[in-house]
Amino acid sequence: MTTDFAGPDWHKMSREEVDRGLNNGAAVAASADIVADWEKRSAGLRQRHAQHLDLKYGPRERNRIDFLRARDGAPTLLFIHGGYWQHRAKEVFTVVAEGPMAHGINVALIGYTLAPDATLDEIVAEIHAGIDFLAGQLPALGAAPGAIVVSGWSAGGHLTSMALSNRNVRAGVAISGIYDLEPIRHSYLNEKLRLDDAMSRRNSPMMQSGGPAKPLSLVVGSAELPLLRKQTADFAGHRARHGLPVTYEEIPGADHFTIMNEMIAPGGRIVTLIRQALERA
């Protein structure tokens, strides 16, 4: 494993440069069309797997989980959507189930309250509550008990890393995530997140001494914004230094949005990492 990506130091960048360095939508001209296609394909998939949608795990409107069953007795992957903790919804991302389900893996997608209606502390707590709920429901849903693997994209990559401490999670696959929230706190994204120094630090895996000793695969696209690539490489190095199980790789040519093709396609690299994580679990 190599994590020698020499990305920029955000501390030496102006506020405008940090804002641009984190703006994935502006960096990928076709991003709106890509997301629209995800949403269209997701709607069709939800129609075909409508039996266990919007399972309520908490009191707030977005505290819901969709469960798509591939086959009886199969293991389960939980996917956490992105959107910088303040945009998008689980319904946009149902399409990511196509790849894992082609290999007999059940897929659950979790919703959570968005900022500014929830703090990041509250969002992380909701993810843990949803995982606990799902773990308890797996037998009734016809899934194999235990051994949940969690995956997520962008903000969902961050939430995947935070979910590793949950006793019901066996491994994680984090895609294009944020693991040090300090540049977020000093950018336009904090207008809704309202992170202060303490909240940023306790929710930044990079700022923790060590971490959960569970397998974590970290993936990022080689064509992503340099700050994002550096986040993933630095976090992989952090886990390696603390002797925690981790793999790191860049998907050649993938940007922040096209990287998800590696999860949607049954033969995609991220699907392979998910299958490996479930085998280890």
pLDDT at residue 2 in the model:
47
pLDDT at residue 8 in the model:
86
pTM of the model: 0.96
> Coil, helix or strand for 221?
strand
Residue 270 is encoded by which pair of tokens?
């991220």
pLDDT at residue 280 in the model:
82
Closest C-alpha to 175, from 262, 67, 77, 113: 262
* pLDDT tier for residue 5 given thresholds of 50, 70 and 90: low
pLDDT at residue 147 in the model:
74
- Position 204: which residue type? S
246 and 206 Cβ atoms separated by less than 8 Å: no
- Position 264: which residue type? I
- Position 217: which residue type? S
Q: Give me the chain's average pLDDT, please.
A: 95
Q: How far apart are CA 106 and CA 103, in angstroms?
A: 9
**Residue-wise pLDDT tens digits, 103-136:** 999 999 999 999 999 999 999 999 999 999 999 9
Mean pLDDT in residue range 245-272? 98
Q: How far apart are CA 76 and CA 110, in angstroms?
A: 13
The answer to which of 10-14, 43-47, 190-194 has the lowest mean pLDDT is 10-14
The answer to which of 1-10, 44-53, 165-174, 188-197 has the lowest mean pLDDT is 1-10
Q: Which domains does the chain have, with CATH numbers?
A: 10-280 (3.40.50.1820)
- Position 281: which residue type? A
pLDDT at residue 63 in the model:
98
Mean pLDDT in residue range 71-95? 97
**Residue-wise pLDDT tens digits, 132-154:** 999 999 999 999 998 799 999 99
**Residue-wise pLDDT tens digits, 189-221:** 999 999 999 999 999 999 999 999 999 999 999
Q: What single DSSP character describes residue 83?
A: S
